[in-house]
């Protein structure tokens, strides 16, 4: 016997199950807020779809057929699965369960991300959070591969297939030993007057180093640091030990705060490092990830109130940087 294509709705499933339980068209109609003819119509459509009788009915009795008993058993399972599906989707939509993974520049992973995670976890303890502290190129690759939901880093047009939305920018400061001649001043320092000092810098592939190289190159000064190290903690230790000075963005410098180090603002020219949100183009961010981004924006507004960006921009048009 040929069975027609089965295309039932959750409502039809509920009507069938109600009738299977009550074995009464009248009580089923009252329970489902339908007319008895509507209940009969639903049963008729199901029997047509399955090409078999589901109920034996007379003027006095309604009884499930063997096919009806099998359908009722399976329909209860299907309805349970449907309810579970709805429940699980709502849990995700209501931020009860889920996961947010992000990549961030080390300075952001040490300053902005922990504060944001603490706020997020207080409101949504059921969401699993993951952060990968990474330089810019690796962060872009993780977004491209779907390894993380988004990244916090600097712009890089080499990844034109990804979307970049500016969030904030931080200026540069000079870290100097506490006993240095420049430690006691208050005015902003010019880049030219600190060019000949022994510098401790990050390696050439990083955005920090590229900014420093470029600002000195614009003044026809070839930047040659005395030491090149990768980690901010190493820079802090070397500056505190009196081995040199270091030009860093404000948020990176915040990681290095310790006894024996003084920060002086750098100007003439004023250089700012843009920080943005990197996502895969054409993908919809989860509710949890979107909430995390909103908190990150707020945290940038708290830390860099004059240079936090409120309006999103679809793609990166700013100067390339690989952090």
**Residue whose tokens read 């949100």:** 277
Task: In whole angstroms, give the CA distance from residue 39 to residue 28.
Answer: 7
User: Containing H/E element for 263?
Assistant: strand 261-267
- pTM of the predicted structure, to 2 decimals: 0.71
Which pLDDT value is given to residue 310?
Answer: 58
Contacts for 314 with CB less than 8 Å, ≥ 6 apart: 163, 165
286, 94 Cβ separation under 8 angstroms: no
> How far, in Å, CA of 266 to CA of 246, rounded?
11
pLDDT at residue number 8: 82
Instruction: List domains and CATH numbers for the chain.
Output: 10-93 (1.10.10.10), 94-323 (3.40.190.290)
N- to C-terminal Cα separation, the chain? 68
Residue position matching structure tokens 């690989």: 322
Cβ-Cβ contacts under 8 Å for 202 (sequence gap 6 or more): 208, 209, 228, 229, 230, 235
Q: What is the mean pLDDT of each run of 10 residues along the chain (323 residues)?
A: 69 93 94 94 93 90 94 91 83 80 94 95 93 92 95 87 93 96 93 96 88 93 95 95 96 92 95 93 91 94 78 37 39
Query: What is the model's pLDDT at position 1?
Result: 52
């Amino acid at each position: 016997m040929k069975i027609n294509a089965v295309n039932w709705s959750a409502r039809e499933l509920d009507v069938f199950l109600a009738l299977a339980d009550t074995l009464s068209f009248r009580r089923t109609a009252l329970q489902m807020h339908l007319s008895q003819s509507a209940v009969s119509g639903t049963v008729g459509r199901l029997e047509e779809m399955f090409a078999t009788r589901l109920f034996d009915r007379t003027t006095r009795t309604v009884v499930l057929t063997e096919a009806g008993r099998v359908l009722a058993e399976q329909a209860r399972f299907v309805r349970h699965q449907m309810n579970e599906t709805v429940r699980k989707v709502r849990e995700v939509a209501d931020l009860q369960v889920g996961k947010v993974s992000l990549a961030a520049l080390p300075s952001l992973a040490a300053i902005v991300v922990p504060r944001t995670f603490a706020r997020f976890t207080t409101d949504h303890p059921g969401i699993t959070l993951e952060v990968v502290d990474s330089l810019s190129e690796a962060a872009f690759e993780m977004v491209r591969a779907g390894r993380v939901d988004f990244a916090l880093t600097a712009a890089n047009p080499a990844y034109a297939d990804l979307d970049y939305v500016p969030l904030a920018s931080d200026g540069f400061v000079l870290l100097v030993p506490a006993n240095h001649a420049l430690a006691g001043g208050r005015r902003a320092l010019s880049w030219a007057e600190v060019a000949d000092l022994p510098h401790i810098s990050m390696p050439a592939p990083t955005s920090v180093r590229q900014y420093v190289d470029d600002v000195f190159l614009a003044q026809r000064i070839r930047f040659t640091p005395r030491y090149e190290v990768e980690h901010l903690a190493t820079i802090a230790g070397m500056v505190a030990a009196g081995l040199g000075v270091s030009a860093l963005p404000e948020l990176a410098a915040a990681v290095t705060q310790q006894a024996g180090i003084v920060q002086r603002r750098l100007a003439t020219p004023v250089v700012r490092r843009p920080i943005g949100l990197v996502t895969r183009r054409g993908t919809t961010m989860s509710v949890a990830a979107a909430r995390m981004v909103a908190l990150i924006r707020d945290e940038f507004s708290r830390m860099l109130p004059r240079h936090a960006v409120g309006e999103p921009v679809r793609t990166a048009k700013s100067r390339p940087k690989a952090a």
